[in-house]
Structure 1
């Protein structure tokens, strides 16, 4: 389990939203005491009070051997993060790092056939349907899809536990907090600006 001080713990809904909006996750399993990890895009869905993550990895990836009926799977979702300089504080302090992250634990099973096809169709719609001439499932040659599906292994993970961390300078006083936001908003890095946006949203009363 990940260590999260109480003041930085996300609530359940916030954590699920981070999973959905940062769905290129790290899939971690263990094979004979050796950790295995794959970076992979996932589809997150909620169904009758349960949360599922579906995805696929390459057929040649040996992690596939750990994904069937495995109840010790870990998914790590990384949200925006930023270095926080202590030069932005009023008083003498050390620098730190602000971040959003979610660790989701669950039970995995292999999916194939129509279930895998449905999973791939859903993922294509997610990333392609809003594009002009987007390549959804029905726009591909069926023979091409049939060949490509032989090169992957699909999986579904039923999420059983979620731990979300939002370490976003909640411990700073109002002056420091506003200074951090102002400095991050000067950045040309998208993630640093996103951290500032998140911080603004959490303490709107400081920015009226």
Structure 2
């Protein structure tokens, strides 16, 4: 991913937090030179000294059969808020642009054992169900429901490289930056509001 120096993120704790909050990612592999992509809930875990992206997909999805076949590397993309930035919001004339947050993770994928998959599903349910009144947890599922695990394939991707970008108008002066945040809130679209919040949080963090 091309990342100008103004927008490059190197703080691993920040990247981990971003993936945790934006965990519905895109897994990209190739089959006979053609890219294949699947959109999936994913999670970043540490095992010993290594980090892994864990997930699962339907057994009928042919993408899992590409793991380790044509090439060793796979790509996982996580995306956060994004919004159009009008150059009319700048003090001086310039061109419009687009603000965004994105993380690219490169690594090698392998298939989980059934035991590993069960543990991963247990953690996934805990993450997304713990705050719910009638939480769905693995331990309480019927044996009949648990048998549906046969219809999915678990996988883990050993992380080899991470590239992260926060393009949040860091290259603009303070006056432009504040005006961009104000104008984004005035847009009233969900993407614009989310980007304004991210830019506000960055401003507070940098002070």
TM-score by shorter chain over 0.5: yes
TM-score by length of 2: 0.92
Decide whether aligned partners of structure 1 residues 138 and 103 sit closer, same or farther in structure 2, where only a CA change above 3 A counts: same
Q: 2:107: which partner in 1?
A: 106
Distance 1:48 1:32, change over 3 A: same
1:178·1:206 contact (CA, 8 Å) conserved in 2?
Answer: no
Number of the residue aligned with 1:5: 4
Alpha-carbon deviation of 1:8? 0.9
- Runs of at least 5 residues in structure 2 that lack an aligned partner in the other structure: none
Indicate if the aligned counterparts of 2:19 and 2:78 stay in contact, CA closer than 8 A.
Answer: yes
SS of the equivalent of 1:93 reads: coil
State the match for 2:78 in structure 1.
77
Match of 1:190 in 2: 190
Shift of 1:157: 0.8
Native 8 Å contact 1:57 1:152 kept in 2:
yes
Which stretches in structure 1 are left out of the alignment for 5+ residues? Answer: none
Residue deviations 1:142-193, cap 9 Å, x none?
12211x1111111011111000011110111111100001111234333322
TM superposition outliers: structure 1 runs of 4+ over 6 Å: none
Q: TM-score, normalised by structure 1?
A: 0.92
Residues 19, 43 of structure 2: 8 Å contact kept: no
The alignment status of 1:204 with 2:191, answered yes or no, reads no
Residue correspondences, number? 205
1:41-56 alignment runs, 5 A limit: 41-56=41-56
